[in-house]
Structure 1
Amino acid sequence: MKIIASLLIGYLIGCFQSAYIISRIKGRLDIRKYGSGNAGTTNVIRVMGWKAGIITFFMDVFKAAIGVLVCSLIFDDILMGYYAGVGVVIGHNWPVFLGFRGGKGIAATIGLLTAVDIRIGLIVIGIMAIVIFISRYVSLGSILMAISIPILMAIFYTDRPQYIVLGVILMIFALYNHRANIKRLLNGTENKLGHKKNLSENEK
């Protein structure tokens, strides 16, 4: 019951869709109808600019961290906080109030990992930053970061299988939501960071 409660609490927090809210307030538009059609940081940057994108990123990071901290305190168990963080990612990706059309959950994943274990959070941030700096592909940085999650969980939490299993689940979520990006990366047609979409363009 504690696991279910944690997932539900996290899910409801995750449904607070930062990109959608920012796009409505700042641009009076639905971000999901522009650019890639994704309600996430990268698409906000391309459609609305860096300022809106950075605000979106930190809002998503903080909401996941809040989910982890709230359930950790309620149940006095960081593992329940971890489950809540996974719930936040699910809510972010598939928000019930927005027809289950959300983002890809990368910023939220970073937030939950940092709240669960700051060492892992800093490592995944480093992986993403280095890959994006070198390649200019946000998607590649996100994909490699996701793949590293269960590996890092296995290194730091060898004796806690649930941590590793949840890490695998987070990786699967990220890879599933980046499946179109993976195809474009393999085809050499993926957009690099800095490529700004026309507001009327939707590549979905």
Structure 2
Amino acid sequence: MERELCRHMIEIAVALVAAFFLGSAPTAYLVGRAASGVDIRRSGSGNPGALNAYRQLGKTAGVIVLLADSGKGAAAVYLGQRLYIPMSALAAVAAVAALGHNFSPFLKFRGGKGGAVVLGISAIMLLGITAITVAFGAVLYGVTRHAVWAMTGTFLLLNALTIATLQPVGQISLCLALSALVAGTHLWRQYPQVSVAMRERAWRRFMTIE
């Protein structure tokens, strides 16, 4: 019994460590350096994520970063599933992967905002729902041309469908928590602009802050 418990604890520890280092891999930074020698942190919005890579490095680089970042989250959760760790531990693995991306030690603890990583996590856990929300987000971005509006709509729909389809409480809680992490990171990184927009009640400007 004790040996079995020890084995499970080791598996959970392995999954957590792997998730953190997978998540913290600085994809956008590496692609920028490899593609054109650009430090994505000093270009455009300065955010080392897929959207800034798309705008500063081009469509191909942006797609590569998007897929790679999504893949980091998906790989972390898939590993946890293959180790058959319990849902509570799997939720921790997902959260650690997202935190690793947002606060990468390879970029002095300043990474992306986690949107793509969280969608990768969701794709492994709730593929159908994720596919619907990603399609909706793509259409919304095509119509509005505002990344923040599209991402907000995507995550609102993701959470709404997770609740509406009566997913387990743990799954719903994880979805809400990861969405809050993405939103919180965005607001924290853009605090000066957010503060001014809220003080002036400039809500339209608030929703376009990237």
TM-score, with length taken from structure 2 = 0.80
Is this contact kept in 2: 1:94–1:101, CA < 8 A?
A: yes
Distance 1:157 1:86, change over 3 A: farther
Instruction: Say whether 1:166 aligns with 2:184.
Output: no
Once the two structures are TM-superposed, the CA of residue 103 in structure 1 deviates from its matched residue by 0.6
More helix by share: 2
Gaps of 5+ in 1: 192-202
In the other structure, the counterpart of 2:184 is: 176
Instruction: Say whether 1:145 aligns with 2:163.
Output: no
Distance 1:7 1:161, change over 3 A: farther
Distance 1:60 1:185, change over 3 A: farther
Is this contact kept in 2: 1:39–1:102, CA < 8 A?
A: yes
Instruction: Say whether 1:190 aligns with 2:208.
Output: yes
Q: Deviations over 1:122-156 (max 9, x none)?
A: 12202211210110111211122222333222223
Alpha-carbon distance in structure 1 between the residues aligned to 2:165 and 2:17: 27
Instruction: Say whether 1:131 aligns with 2:143.
Output: no
| Higher relative contact order (CA closer than 8 Å, sequence separation 6+) | 1
**Counterpart AA for 2:28:** A
The percentage of counterpart residues that share the same residue type is 25
In the other structure, the counterpart of 2:127 is: 118
In the other structure, the counterpart of 1:88 is: 97
TM-score, with length taken from structure 1 = 0.82
Runs of 4+ in 1 over 3 A off after TM superposition: 1-8, 76-83, 180-185, 188-191
Alpha-carbon distance in structure 2 between the residues aligned to 1:129 and 1:174: 18
Distance 1:28 1:46, change over 3 A: same
**Counterpart AA for 2:174:** L
Q: CA RMSD in A?
A: 2.6
Is this contact kept in 2: 1:67–1:81, CA < 8 A?
A: no
1:1-204 superposed matches below 5 A = 6-75=15-84, 77=86, 80-158=89-167, 160-179=168-187, 180=190, 186-187=204-205, 190=208
Once the two structures are TM-superposed, the CA of residue 40 in structure 1 deviates from its matched residue by 0.5
Which has the greater radius of gyration?
2
Alpha-carbon distance in structure 2 between the residues aligned to 1:172 and 1:127: 20
Is this contact kept in 1: 2:12–2:80, CA < 8 A?
A: no
**Counterpart AA for 1:87:** V
**Counterpart AA for 1:175:** A
Alpha-carbon distance in structure 2 between the residues aligned to 1:150 and 1:22: 31
Gaps of 5+ in 2: 1-8
Once the two structures are TM-superposed, the CA of residue 88 in structure 1 deviates from its matched residue by 1.6
> Number of aligned pairs?
191
Q: Deviations over 1:28-55 (max 9, x none)?
A: 2221111101000110111111111111
Alpha-carbon distance in structure 2 between the residues aligned to 1:157 and 1:3: 27
Is this contact kept in 2: 1:72–1:80, CA < 8 A?
A: no
